[in-house]
Every structure is written in C-alpha cells, then in structure tokens.
Amino acid sequence: MFLHDILTAIPWGLLLAFSIGPGFFVLLETSITKGFRAAFTFDLGIVFSDIIFILIAYLSTNQLLEQLKDNPTLFVIGGIIMLAYGLISFIQLKRNFKKQTEIEQDDDNIPKKNYFALFFKGFLLNFINIGVLGFWMMIIITYGPQMEMNTSRISVFFAAILVFYLAFDVAKILLAKQLKHKLIPANIYKIKRVISMVILIFGLFFILQGFFPKEKEMITNKLLPDTTVSE
C-alpha cells in the first residue's frame, strides 16, 4: 500500500513543481545568477515551509477526519473543495491574464554563498502565501480519509510529494536558462490552465468516489487484490 501512496504522490509533486508563481521565477533567476547550490538552498527553504504547512493542515484536521474517515460523504466534500480550488484558480487565471506584466528580475543582492539568507528567503516567500496552506489543507482533507488517517501512510504520501517536487525542481534548476526563455506570457497561461483543469478533474473524480463507494471499493479490490494496509 505504501507503493500505491508513493505513486499517487507523483502527479502532485509534478503539479507543485510547475505551479507557476513568484517562487518559480525566483528559483530560475537564482539558478541563472547564483548557480545550482544557491538555487537548491533557496528551494530547500520553500520545502521547509511546506513541511510546516503540512503539519498545520494535519494537526488542525486530524481529529475531525479520524471520526469521519469511513464516511463516503467525505470524498464528496474533499472533491468539492478540490473542484472549487481548481475552478477559482482557473477564473483568477483568466482575469489575471488580461493584466499581465513582465517578469521582474530578482535583484536581492544576497551573496551566492550566503546559504542561510537564501534558505530564509525561500522559506519566507512561500510561507507568506496563505494559498499554499489552502492547497495542503485540500490535499489532507481529500487523501487523509482514503489512507484511513494512518499516520505512517500519510507521512509517506506527503514525504513522497515533497521528494518528487524537489526532484522536479532540481531539473528546473539545471534547465533554468532554457525554461526562462520559453516562459512567455502565453506559455505561462497554458501551463496554469492545464494545472487548474487537472485539479478540477481530480475533484470530479473524488466526488464520484463519494457517490459510488461500492464501485470504488470493487475497482480497488480488482487492482490490489492481495494488498493489505500496513500499520
């Protein structure tokens, strides 16, 4: 079952890595101007803030989700939250696309070997974005009950998301110059639109799971006939 959780984490790691925001461009700029180590340190700061957000999301919902974990309605609620998240992102995207501005250069004057400052910068840039906490809340509400609120499974799942996210970011750092030249406004819009639509599809999928729990269980048993949940 751990393998299934790890595989489930891959698309979310990919979505996180290509969720284009301030951190995305600062990461590329840091890689170009300061090198791999500086960019990787900056990225570790982002990941550390994600870990804090995950802990907040888990601790604030753990008891409630534990009580409702066997209720199919929770799939519907999680799906609706995910659907709303994707829909709002898509609507905001269309509005913001009409008011595009050029990507600003990252002139932070932080020496490339001042790793503590770079780490803190990545941490702060991500931590002040309350939308990131909303994202992790959405994930824990949607996937926690599926994993029976098993702490080990949830830990593996979120750790896998962050590992894949970091791995994809390493690829971004190595390809920073090529990526930056391709990130014209039209391409940015397309990437964000795809991400929003994928989240919408995930939301619909979970809503269907809530409405048809028996069918979901039957499909799961066919796919994983001999698998038992690790405690």
Report the C-alpha gap between 70 and 93 in whole angstroms. 36
So what's the pLDDT on residue 161? Answer: 95
User: In tens digits, what is the pLDDT along the chain, a chain of 231 residues?
Assistant: 778 889 989 988 888 887 756 677 788 888 888 888 999 999 999 999 999 999 998 888 877 666 655 566 666 776 777 777 777 777 766 665 554 444 444 445 666 678 889 999 999 888 887 778 878 888 888 888 778 788 899 999 999 999 999 999 999 888 887 776 776 667 666 777 777 787 778 778 777 776 765 555 554 444 444 443 343
Q: Where are the beta strands (DSSP E) in 51-187?
A: none
The whole-number pLDDT of residue 42 equals: 93
Torsion over CA of 63, 45, 199 and 202, rounded to 10 degrees?
-50
Number of helices followed by number of strands (H, E) in the chain: 10, 0
pLDDT confidence of residue 51: 94
Are 200 and 121 within 8 A, CB to CB? Answer: no
pTM attached to this predicted model: 0.71
pLDDT at 215: 54
- pLDDT score of 101: 41
Q: Across the chain, where does the E strand assignment appear?
A: none
CA gyration radius, the chain: 19
What's the pLDDT at 197?
81
Residue indicated by tokens 């925001």:
21
